[in-house]
Amino acid sequence: MFSFLDRLLRWSFFALFLLVPLVFFSDTSELFEFNKMWITFGLTIIIVGAWVGKSIVEKQFRLQRTPLDIPILLFLLSQLVSTIFSIDPRISWWGYYSRFNGGFLSLFSYVLLYYAFVSNVTKKQIASYVSAILLGGAAVALWGLPSHFGYDPTCFVFRGTLDVSCWTFAFQPKVRIFSTLGQPDWLAAYLVALIPLAIHATLHFWKEKRKLWAGIFFLTTILFYVDLIYTRAKSGFVGLGFALLTLIGMVVWTHRATLKSFFKQQVAFVGILASLLVITFFIGSPFDQIDRFTFIGLRQALTPKVSQQAAPTSDSKPTTPAQPAGEFGGTDSGKIRLYVWEGAIKAWLSHPIIGTGVETFAFAYYQNRPAAHNLTSEWDYLYNKAHNEYLNYLATTGAFGLGTYLVMIVFFLFLAKKRWYKDSKEEDVSQDRQYLVAALLAAYVGTLVTNFFGFSVVIMNIFLFLIPGFVFLVQDVLTTKKMVLFPKNASESISVSGFQWVGLSGVGLVSLYFLSVLFNMWSSDKLYALGYNLDHAGEYQTAYTPLHQAVQQDQAEPVFQDELSINDAVLAAALAQQNNATTAAQLAEEAVGVSSSLVASHPNNVTFWKSRVRILYMLAPQNPNYYAEALTAIQKAASLAPTDAKIAYNLGLIYGQSGHLSEAITALEKTVQLKPDYKDAYYALGLFYHSLAVDSSGRIVDAAKQQKAVDEMHYILDHFSKDDQQANQALKAWGAE
């Protein structure tokens, strides 16, 4: 039994490194991260269950003490405190829906994996786990590479066509590949962590004179690097730069005594680095400053430029400042990221000690969002991460959370570098051990850098927590520090008593229970995803059944209830128009009831308030009392998102349609201040000014307000389109053409 449980634990770790980066499903609400997190949760349950089972068989529980115990426990404590006092505790416990990575339960899982790893894995097994990591990476890289050339295996799985037709225009792998990680920057961060390990494997087999394996890992390194280039991720290139500098510096230091003959001794290492430079020269990089010196850049520079006539200019002034363009013509991601970082800092200042709550950035950012974000192409996007791991921790878990996170990282790097420096002076420490530690630390440093420009995903958090375990095991720093619980002099007998079988059965049943909970939540998500997609395709009646089934299976998930309430409201409005008053009233009552419960339980969730506005507004034609409730709901949403131009616009519309014209104009004037290029807001302003300017018979009684109405329509014609149909029709109706 002990042997079985030990194998189960070890193979579960292999599965963790192999499956997490690879797994995705097409019929869940989020294809990639959600499923990776669920696999991680499941494997954590199996690993911990096997660990406890081994302890029962051995009659003692061994918990490996490590130098990071106090920093890890302090970090976990900071996350727990932030979760308890969160502005939305459910999100803090589980994480933002569809990703879950970063919620307290996910962080607790990573800590459990760390201790299970260092307590059960031996130094001799490290090489096999590194191989598993590289094998998983090779599968991910090979899966993603064809998509750059228009042949995406994912589309073949989804639709049976080996092309890129399953992706939208703004999500094209021919421009930036993302493979099974789901996003180019996430794939880049993953590859940055793998490249130093692949380089080490190449050097290891080269030194062992096993040229075939050295060649295989050399090609794997090249594959990773080519994929990294095709992600076009600047953060990935910067991260790799720091990783390689770390690796090169540590390798050179290892050979400092024979530096003159270094290039001769390390021809394989130099050859790898030279190959990366050659590939960059011919393929390019994400940076224009580098691309000037590549083959493509030099060819363009040497090609005679065809003279072009100056493009005609427009007399009209731009409505917004010029913005740097991104890959698909939108605002440059770096510009947007600066706005998000500014909002993150403001969110931290509002809750400086423990933050707004683990994984609550979406709501914290809404409350502190810079108005300038409205001038970007992503002005109406919801940002649930700060796009900087450190600012994300700062905003959501405060100085306590970020401080303990940084202490954990810095303390590990200090201890690892200190031990590595000591080992470099010892003659009996192998060069291969030195190289492996250097590769692991380089991967860790690269992860830290990519996290600065983005945020960690599931596999990167696994690396962040387990790489220290790898390093400590390789450096032999864990051999004498063990905490043994239960009987200290365990029986040497391997037989399992009846009492132990009871304990093993209990562990098995508890593990199966937690796995069944995970499966039920995953299955419920599939139903929710089906209903959500049907709703967004306009098939509300068909969506009704899977949404109700999802809520019945997982009654605690508010996201399911939110979508269900919207579905009920749409169907109620449609049935009311068909004079099916009884069923319409039942659905309307359910929709409003579910919505009321949601906003009462999650008062800081602006998304649920926006849904409530939509629900009440749809149902108001049948029940005019809902107009007042819709106004109250949109006012609450505006207080939670004071710089959101779309909410301000809708507030103006509802004010106006409720007869509060002066308040409507005030709200819409604020809207155009927040977003000067919001054409619909100018049009609504014009209509409401006109409504105030005329009496019940349509006669103009306030010429000043009528002139303002005319000015708004002319502004649309002058700054947006001179052929705008709505503005021209309004002017014509007013006799002001």
**Comparing 540-643 with 644-737, is the CATH topology the same?**
yes
Tracing tokens 């100018």 back to the chain, one arrives at: 682
362 phi/psi in degrees, rounded to 5:
-55, -45
Q: What is the mean pLDDT of residues 35-41?
A: 97
Give the model's pLDDT for residue 15. 97
Output the six-digit token pair for 350. Answer: 């509002």
Burial of 76 (0-12, 13-18, 19+ CB in 10 A): middle
Q: pLDDT category, 325, cuts 50, 70, 90?
A: very low
Percent of the chain whose predicted confidence (pLDDT) is above 70: 92
Residues 6+ apart with CB under 8 A from 569: 587, 588, 591, 592, 614, 615, 618, 619
Would you kindly state where each structural domain of the chain is located, as residue ranges?
Answer: 2-299+384-485, 540-643, 644-737
Give the model's pLDDT for residue 513. 97
Output the six-digit token pair for 62. Answer: 């061994």
Give the model's pLDDT for residue 310. 45
Give the model's pLDDT for residue 486. 54
| pLDDT exceeds cutoff 60 at 418 | yes
**In 10 A of CB 232, how many CB atoms?**
20
Residues 6+ apart with CB under 8 A from 117: 13, 466, 469
Q: pLDDT category, 717, cuts 50, 70, 90?
A: very high
Residue pLDDT, tens place only, 508-555:
999 999 999 999 999 999 999 999 999 999 999 999 999 999 999 999
Residue pLDDT, tens place only, 550-609:
999 999 999 999 999 999 999 999 999 999 999 999 999 999 999 999 999 999 999 999
Residue pLDDT, tens place only, 612-661:
999 999 999 999 999 999 999 999 999 999 999 999 999 999 999 888 99
Distance CA 187, CA 154 (A): 15
Q: For the chain, what is the mean pLDDT?
A: 90
Distance CA 301, CA 329 (A): 24
With CA atoms as reference, report the closest residue to 616 among 640, 644, 635.
635
Tracing tokens 């600065």 back to the chain, one arrives at: 452
Give the model's pLDDT for residue 272. 92
Distances (CA, A) of 565 to 522, 562, 577: 21, 5, 19
Residue pLDDT, tens place only, 237-286:
999 999 999 999 998 887 766 665 566 667 888 899 999 999 999 998 88
Q: Count how many Cα atoms sit within 13 Å of the Cα of residue 449 in the half-sphere of its side chain.
A: 24
Give the model's pLDDT for residue 487. 53
Give the model's pLDDT for residue 314. 42
Residue pLDDT, tens place only, 84-103:
999 999 999 999 998 899 99
Q: What is the mean pLDDT of residues 381-395?
A: 93
Give the model's pLDDT for residue 264. 61
| pLDDT exceeds cutoff 60 at 489 | no
Letter for the amino acid at 507? V
User: Between 1.20.210.10, 1.25.40.10, 3.40.50.2000, 3.40.50.261, what CATH number should domain 644-737 receive?
Assistant: 1.25.40.10
Residues 6+ apart with CB under 8 A from 523: 553
Q: What is the CATH number of domain 540-643?
A: 1.25.40.10
Residues 6+ apart with CB under 8 A from 604: 87, 88, 360, 363, 640
- DSSP secondary structure, 174-232, as one string: TTS--TTTTSHHHHHHHHHHHHHHHHHHHHHHHHTT-HHHHHHHHHHHHHHHHHHHHHT
| pLDDT exceeds cutoff 50 at 113 | yes
| pLDDT exceeds cutoff 70 at 494 | no
